[in-house]
Amino acid sequence: MKKLINDPRAVVDESVEGFGLAHADLVRVHSDPLFVSRAGGAVPGKVGLVSGGGSGHEPLHSGYVGRGMLDAAVPGAVFTSPTPDAIIPATQAADGGAGVVLVVKNYTGDVLNFETAAEMCQAEGLDVRTVLVDDDVAVEDSLYTAGRRGVAGTVLVEKIAGAAAERGDRLDEVEAIGRKVVANVRSMGLALTPCTVPHAGKTSFDLGEDEIEIGIGIHGEPGRRRVGLEPADALTEHLLTPVMEDLGLAEGERVLLFVNGMGGTPLSELYIVYRVAARILADRGALVERSLVGNYTTSLEMQGCSVTVLRLDDELTALWDAPVHTPALRWGA
């Protein structure tokens, strides 16, 4: 195992400490328990937005703390849900007096721990709502979840719900916007190589030199099937076809196309995937009005990508375009 680390047990603490130092103008890092909040604290009268999950998916979630997105994020150990004792103070730190929305990826540990934290915050009088993200069309159940997994579509939920909160929407409205995005976003990914969890010291799964896992999860969970080496165009079609079918995409619909890297794939290759994905959508009669390409929901150093499609309307487009200023996503601010 070759990694730029010191003690495998200290990877998350040291990484988050460095993240806080690098972006001290935007975030504050809190330790014991560990969470990240927006610099300057909660915005009075604004609905708070909080997310979190296992580390190893950077910049998700801490990289999206800032104006127009999250008010706090809770990083757990690598590929491990954070516990309620960290989620509770993060939720409290995000509360500006208008309630808090938790954006939770659909993994069993995340769901249980965020639900527990929400119940405990509610018992103290804080109005907390939960938006569950389950955009992965690859499987209905996996090793980590009952039902579909939450993957790269989480970034779009956080951006759009965050913009709604930033413009002053009420708690019910921010929750509804988050659920609207979830209902209209679908994703599917593939892996060219496995990744290595630092404290494990070995790859998370075995994949032959001539094998590609189609439908992989962001923790290395098995996908739909393994295939031999194929050109990028064919592999992209394997991902995008079930996404379009599950979304029920019709001719003339407007979409956002998001090609996400898993951490180890060059940007040049992601643009090759975007090129064919845009062409496939155009052939179907869909109108690609917005796009995002890059490493936004990763799996450590895994080589691979995912393709996400979000059905757009005027409201979602305006919220996507709204100013955002975070360490990992920034425009219009």
Burial of 205 by CB count in 10 Å (0-12 exposed, 13-18 middle, 19+ buried)? Answer: middle
3-class state of residue 215 by DSSP: coil
Select which of 23, 57, 61, 238 is catalytic. 57
Q: Do residues 39 and 91 lie in contact, with contact meaning Cβ atoms separated by under 8 Å?
A: no
Catalytic site residue 57? yes
Select which of 23, 61, 219, 238 is catalytic. 219
Q: Do residues 121 and 128 lie in contact, with contact meaning Cβ atoms separated by under 8 Å?
A: yes
Cα(242)–Cα(81) distance, rounded to whole angstroms? 28
Residue 83 one-letter amino acid = T
Cα(174)–Cα(165) distance, rounded to whole angstroms? 6
**Secondary structure letter of residue 70 according to DSSP:** B
Which residue has 């909160």 as its token pair? 165
Catalytic site residue 199? no
3-class state of residue 172 by DSSP: helix
Length of the chain: 333
How do beta strands 304-311 and 287-294 pair?
A: unpaired
- Active site residues per annotation: 57, 219
